[in-house]
Chains A and B, each alone.
Chain A
Amino acid sequence: MKLLTALAALGGCLLALPALAQKTTSQGIDEYRAMLQDGNPAELFEAKGEDLWKQKRGPKNATLEKCDLGKGPGVVKGAFVELPRFFADTQKVQDLESRLLTCMASLQGFNADEIAKTPFGKGEQSNITALATWISAESKDMRFNLPQSHPSEKVFYEVGKRLFFQRAGSHDFSCASCHGEEGKRIRLQDLPLLTKNPGDGVGFAAWPAYRVSNGQMWGMQQRLNDCYRQQRFPYPGFASDATIALGVFLGVNAKGAASVAPAIKR
């Protein structure tokens, strides 16, 4: 017992010595999550996304290799950690998925409105998710550094902040209801505080992610969609200004955090 006390005092954390100390549920869950890191099914979507980038598709029979994700046409590495940002050609602040929509329309001739109306996981939406998965993987472990130099980028940050705290809907929820205070959780899910940098690989830095509970690959747009559903709000629409503004707020707050996307989640 003396040895155990001394060891515990050293680290200040529970040492999970089998048969001597009870492992906490939280540690058990951490171990479970660690076991899933190797062999993340997101890799299947990454491979698909990379193929889609290089494949001639759409009415114009063109690839996406000239798509500008913010760092110049065709530059994929590092692009993910600087999105959302302002784009001169569309004169809009755009996130990754809305930018993919722009490129699929302008380079490949797809109908952007139709794709925006397509449910997640179907048709071209699943292709956008695969592309987003691959593009995020190309920036894995890089640190978020969203630009805030253009006036629109600053405006979108402020709009995102207002939306984050806006309480509405039948339950009077806001994003802040779950993500506005330190140390909150729903059952076994820790809810990161998103008004500041929540740390490497957390929150904004963890999507796109493969969700084991339904075996689906989710991009940030679908993640925000589901948050709105849980708040009993109608979804603001795929690649809408509202969702992009929230992305700017979350992404700028996460400045310096390392991206782990594509991650694996419950």
Chain B
Amino acid sequence: MADPMRIRAQASGDKATVRVLMSHEMESGQRKDANGKIIPAWFIQEVTALHNEKIVMTAEWGPAVAKNPFLQFSVKAAKAGDKITLLWKDNRGDTRKDEATVT
């Protein structure tokens, strides 16, 4: 299973700013190895964000998202103690799920 994400969710007013760091190579499929062969694309393709078990955002990513991706978004009607869950799935079918509590 992939390395854990770092999720920070900070409440401010009635919203929570969520910042996520994901551990992933995000290989673009454009690079060549020492023998001149293309290094196959390997990247997070689907991202889902949940707030207290409710899906609030999904995303589709291409290989142009940077390595060890960073993502930031704001959840409405969120307060300290709420749960934020992030899931990702890459083009090889690997997945990762992590949770954090809004502080």
Contacts and interface: CB of A to CB of B under 8 A. Distances in A.
Interface in B8-49: 19, 21, 23, 25
A41 B21 contact: yes
B19 A38 contact: yes
A39 B72 contact: yes
Contacts of B67: 41, 215
Nearest to B23: A44
A47 B21 CA distance: 11
Q: From DSSP, what is the main secondary structure of chain B's interface residues?
A: loop
Interface string A10-48: 000000000000000000000000000011110110011
B27 to A, nearest CB: 10
Contacts of B72: 39
A44 B23 CA distance: 7
Contacts of B19: 38-39
Contacts of A44: 3-4, 6, 21, 23, 68
Nearest to A40: B21
B70 interface: yes
A44 B8 CA distance: 12
B6 A43 contact: yes
A39 B4 contact: no
Contacts of B4: 44, 47
Contacts of A39: 19, 21, 70, 72
Nearest to A43: B6
Interface of A: 38-41, 43-44, 47-48, 212, 215
Interface of B: 3-4, 6, 19, 21, 23, 25, 66-68, 70, 72
Given A38-B19, A40-B21, A43-B21, 10 more contacts: A39-B21, A41-B21, A41-B23, A41-B68, A44-B6, A44-B23, A48-B3, A212-B66, A215-B66, A215-B67
**In the A-B complex, the 6 residue pairs with the closest CB atoms:** A41-B68, A215-B67, A39-B70, A44-B23, A43-B6, A39-B19
